């Protein structure tokens, strides 16, 4: 989730919980707590390009780390003598803000180590994208009004609206998965694995990905009413496994290790880029809908001192707002009716 949304969520939660005791300080304490978990972006190495993705949303995002994170976030205030008499509400505010961070991240599809160190599972509920303007704007308005009026009610209302939005997205995802199963059945596919990925700023338009006999099928779904739900056929790409690497790559121990790390990060959704097969990408995300062009991935150079190259094309990832709106509103071409259940 983007830093602004994290800061606003942490600030709003702290303002609601501790505004009466801390006044206008509560939101700032919560905002600092809400931002701090992403300090893990500082964990990186030029010699190991996968270190950054391995430790982003890792232990700093774990529920077990929340008390430590809250204490670290509160330390600038607790280090000052004039604030120590209020150490309990100050610590509570930063801890509440810190706790909101990982829970919000788990609502996205990137994956978050909520259960570390007890489990290595990357929790991802696939409800919202990492950038969610409706949620961010709601929290911003609620917090501004709450601070200005010295009332926690507006922030509480904003939190409830945000919760309702996320809940609606969760419900929509389940509906989208039902549509996905109808499409796969109409194609005669046996689904081995399936996932549904949200699109920016709305719970209506979804990116459907499922695996059948080693092939990944990607489609676009517009989930509205029973009679108005539509879908658009997308692209197909072959799933990539370690055995599909070149003999030189399989003979390089570091390449095998890094392939396994990247596969774990991508939850096993891995394929070669359509335009440049030398790039092995995370198939959960694509710059295009008509073919697989990964936003990020790896390129291997077996036998080199540094055999793994990180390929990052996030700078090229632009949301076509006009086209996105046409898809959401139902005026985009290429969408057809969902097959009926047999």
- The number of beta carbons lying within 10 Å of the beta carbon of residue 196 is 22
Name the range with the highest mean pLDDT among 43-47, 239-243, 290-294, 312-316: 239-243
186 and 298, same domain (yes or no): yes
pLDDT at 321 over 90: no
Which token pair is 122?
């990357």
20 and 113, same domain (yes or no): yes
Q: What is the pLDDT of residue 185?
A: 96
236 and 292, same domain (yes or no): yes
Q: What is the pLDDT of residue 340?
A: 85
Alpha helices per DSSP H over the chain: 3-22, 25-35, 51-55, 66-78, 87-106, 133-149, 153-187, 247-251, 253-265, 321-329
pLDDT at 238 over 90: yes
Q: What is the pLDDT of residue 130?
A: 83
Number of domains in the chain: 2
Q: What is the pLDDT of residue 132?
A: 83
Residue numbers of the domain that contains 278: 173-321
195 and 81, same domain (yes or no): no
Q: Report the percentage of the chain scoring pLDDT > 90.
A: 87
Q: What is the pLDDT of residue 270?
A: 97
14 and 85, same domain (yes or no): yes
- The number of beta carbons lying within 10 Å of the beta carbon of residue 241 is 12
Model pLDDT for residues 258-285, shown as the tens digit of each residue? 999 999 999 999 999 999 999 999 999 9
**What would the mean pLDDT of 241-251 be, rounded to a whole number?**
97
Q: What is the pLDDT of residue 342?
A: 64
Q: Report the percentage of the chain scoring pLDDT > 70.
A: 99
186 and 288, same domain (yes or no): yes
Q: What is the pLDDT of residue 1?
A: 61
Residue 204 maps to a domain: yes
179 and 315, same domain (yes or no): yes
Which token pair is 255?
């390449």
Q: Please, are residues 271 and 216 in contact by the beta-carbon 8 Å criterion?
A: yes
pLDDT at 57 over 80: yes
79 and 216, same domain (yes or no): no
**What would the mean pLDDT of 223-244 be, rounded to a whole number?**
95
Model pLDDT for residues 114-142, shown as the tens digit of each residue? 999 999 999 999 999 987 889 999 999 99
Model pLDDT for residues 172-221, shown as the tens digit of each residue? 999 999 999 999 999 999 999 999 999 988 999 999 999 999 999 999 99
């Amino acid at each position: 989730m983007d830093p602004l949304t994290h800061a606003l969520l942490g600030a709003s939660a702290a303002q609601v919980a501790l505004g009466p005791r801390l006044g206008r300080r509560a939101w700032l304490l919560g905002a600092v707590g809400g931002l701090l978990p992403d300090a893990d972006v500082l964990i990186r190495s030029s010699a190991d390009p996968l270190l950054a993705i391995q430790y982003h949303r890792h232990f700093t995002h774990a529920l077990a780390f929340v008390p430590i994170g809250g204490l670290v976030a509160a330390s600038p205030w607790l280090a000052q003598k004039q604030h120590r008499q209020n150490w309990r509400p100050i610590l509570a505010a930063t801890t509440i803000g810190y706790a909101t961070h990982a829970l919000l991240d788990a609502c996205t599809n990137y994956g978050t180590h909520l259960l570390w160190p007890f489990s290595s599972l990357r929790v991802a509920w696939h409800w919202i994208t990492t950038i969610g303007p409706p949620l961010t704007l709601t929290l911003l308005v609620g917090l501004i009004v709450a601070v200005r009026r010295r009332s926690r009610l507006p922030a509480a209302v904003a939190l409830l609206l945000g919760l309702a939005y996320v809940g609606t997205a969760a419900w929509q995802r389940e509906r989208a998965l039902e549509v996905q199963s109808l499409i796969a059945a109409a194609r005669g596919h046996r689904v081995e694995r399936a996932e549904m990925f949200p699109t920016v700023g709305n719970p209506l338009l979804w990116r459907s990905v499922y695996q059948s006999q080693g092939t990944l099928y990607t489609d676009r779904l517009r989930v509205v009413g029973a009679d108005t739900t539509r879908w658009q056929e997308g692209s197909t790409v072959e799933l990539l496994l370690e055995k599909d690497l070149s003999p030189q790559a399989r003979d390089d121990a570091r390449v095998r290790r890094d392939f396994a790390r990247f596969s774990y990060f991508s939850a096993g959704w891995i394929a070669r880029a359509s335009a440049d097969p030398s790039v092995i990408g995370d198939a959960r995300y694509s710059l295009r809908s008509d073919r697989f062009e990964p936003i990020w991935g790896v390129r291997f150079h077996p036998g080199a001192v540094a055999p793994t190259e990180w390929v990052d094309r996030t700078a090229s990832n632009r949301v076509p707002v006009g086209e996105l709106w046409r898809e959401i509103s139902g005026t985009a071409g290429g969408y057809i009716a969902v097959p009926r259940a047999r």
